Amino acid sequence: MIANLDYITLQQLWWVICSIVGALFLFLLFVQGGQTLLWQMAKTDTESAMIINSLGRKWEITFTTLVLFGGALFASFPKFYATSFGGAYWVWMLILFSFIIQAVSYEYRTKPANVWGAKTYELFLFINGSVGVLLIGAAVGTFYTGANFSLNEWNQVTWMYTLGGINLRGLEAAFSLFSLSLGLFLVFNARVLGALYLLSNLELTSVSAMEQRLRKAVWTNFLCALPFLLYVVVSILLMKGFHVDEAGVVSMVSFKYLFNLFALPHLLLLLLGGIGLVVLGVVGGAFKGSTRGIWPAGLGTVFVGLCVLCLPAFNSTAFYPSKFDLQSSLTIYNASSSQFTLTTMTYVALAIPFVLGYVAYLWKQMDAKKLTTEEALDHEAY
């Protein structure tokens, strides 16, 4: 059956697969969101230990999913990988660095003879959850606003944006109001998910005051996220987009992404349904005393992320447009691997459901019992 798939179908299939992985990563950013809440939510060493050890059970899954996302893009869309990761390498290097210091922090925060102190590593965790997530949003924003690159006939990338004679290599994306707003939305949404996850994972009977702080944080951060979400959605609906005609010529078209939503109504359903699920999780966590709000809010985040990643790629649209040279823009058709490579990868991808099932099983085992203060203060704690 797979062998009978045509090249175009394989290209579209692999963009959807990569988008699903990326959307799952956006949900798993609850770890980063929880890290940024640490100093606000924890008022004692015991409360700090509970939050750190709860998140410490899951940080590796988030990091692994990010690596998987990059690896899937490298294998299925190598031209995009080379253009973005090669040209805009400063923004990607800073994102990677923020995840490196996260790993170091969980490993060394409570090590004996830690001369820097636990607070230093907690600061690293805050940087990972704020700056790292903000830059991820800025990078994703370039799918809509475009990036400042050109490709020559040998597909060598040249990054064209300079500020004061300095080539920022992708950092200029953080100066775009749209990309910055998307990044800030991801930061606050991650904080919402982080608070909801902690409510579901911690035994808060003995620390009821922290439970109230977490429920308040769910609502406060949701309200902070709303203006940025509204700005991003309205901007997407009204902005010009990068249309690709049958000859492969790229041109600017007004309301392109709005037309894409009409042409692809399932993406509109994902967007609206995702926002509705996030609201459901927030209301349950903030006002209804629920400890299960992470699941509707998490699923809603996956739906919204899937829409955001697929909307600029389908319906004859360039998913990585060049503002400097429109004809250098990348589509899922001119940036993908060969048909043989995609076919081979599709056979390998048949194992994905089993891997996801195993991850779900481990997750259930780890969260079968809420984390108690005794476990958090264990000698092997983070």
**CA distances (Å), 245 to each of 56, 248, 249, 315, in order?**
48, 5, 6, 10
Most distant CA pair in the chain, distance: 66
- Decide if 81 is inside a domain: yes
Both tokens assigned to 104: 């170091």
What's the rounded Cα separation, in Å, for the pair 31 and 201? 12
Q: Tokens for 155, please give them.
A: 């597909």
* Domain membership flag for residue 381: no
pLDDT at 174: 76
In contact, 308 and 13? CB cutoff 8 Å: no
Contact indicator for 26, 63 with CB cutoff of 8 Å: no
List the Cα angle 83/352/78 in 5-degree steps: 15
In this predicted model, what pLDDT tens digit does every residue of 210-230 receive, in sequence order? Answer: 999 999 999 999 999 999 999
Q: Are 196 and 297 in contact (CB under 8 A)?
A: yes
Average pLDDT, the chain: 89
Domains held by the chain: number: 1
| C-alpha span between 292 and 199 (Å, rounded) | 8
180 in any annotated domain: yes
Beta strand ranges found along the chain (DSSP E): 149-151, 157-159, 162-163, 166-167, 241-244, 250-253
- Rounded to whole angstroms, the Cα distance separating 360 from 346 reads 22
Is residue 380 scored above 80 in pLDDT? no
Question: pLDDT class for 159, splitting at 50, 70, 90?
Answer: low
Residue 345 has pLDDT above 60, yes or no: yes
- Is 3 a residue whose pLDDT tops 70? no
Q: Is the pLDDT of residue 379 over 60?
A: no
3-state secondary structure of 244: strand
Pairing status of strand 250-253 against strand 241-244? antiparallel
Whole-angstrom distance, CA of residue 310 vs CA of residue 269? 13
Predicted local distance difference test score (pLDDT) of residue 165: 60
Phi, psi at 181, each rounded to 5°:
-65, -40
At position 101, the amino acid (one-letter code) is: I
Token pair 């400042």 is found at: 148
At 111-141, the pLDDT tens digits run: 877 778 889 999 999 999 999 999 999 999 9
C-alpha distances out from residue 332 to 42, 200, 217, 289, 316, Å: 46, 39, 40, 45, 9
Percent of the chain with pLDDT over 90: 63
Is 104 contained in some domain?
Answer: yes
**Torsion angle of alpha carbons 28, 147, 91, 190, nearest 10°?**
-20
Mean pLDDT of 239-260: 93
Cα separation of 225 and 1, whole Å?
Answer: 44
Q: Does the structure show a pLDDT above 70 at 323?
A: yes
* pLDDT band, residue 158 (cuts 50/70/90): confident
Dist CA 80 CA 20 (whole Å): 17
Residue 104 has pLDDT above 80, yes or no: yes
- pLDDT for the residue numbered 367: 81
Condensed to tens digits (0 to 9), the pLDDT of residues 47-80 reads 998 999 999 989 999 999 999 998 999 999 999 9
Nearest to 88 by CA among 185, 174, 178, 177: 174
% of the chain exceeding 70 in pLDDT: 95
* pTM strictly above 0.75: yes
State residue 353's pLDDT score. 85
Question: Cα–Cα distance between 218 and 172 in angstroms, integer?
Answer: 31
Of 354, 369, 352, 257, the closest CA to residue 314 belongs to 257
Residue 322 lies in a domain: yes
Q: Is residue 364 part of a domain?
A: yes
Range of the domain at 229: 2-376
Residue 382 is assigned to a structural domain of this protein: no
Choose among 309, 207, 229: nearest CA to 267: 309
Assess if residue 129 is contained within a domain: yes
- Distinct helix (H) and strand (E) counts, the chain: 16, 6
Q: Are strands 157-159 and 149-151 parallel, antiparallel or unpaired?
A: antiparallel
DSSP H helices, 153-207, are 177-201
Distance, in Å, from the CA atom of 94 to the CA atom of 25, rounded to the nearest integer, reads 18
Q: What is the pLDDT of residues 280-307, one digit of tens each?
A: 999 999 999 899 999 999 999 999 999 9
What pLDDT is attached to residue 333? Answer: 93
Summarised one tens digit per residue, pLDDT across range 165-197 is 666 676 777 788 999 999 999 999 999 999 999
Q: What is d(CA 207, CA 140) in angstroms, rounded to the nearest whole number?
A: 38
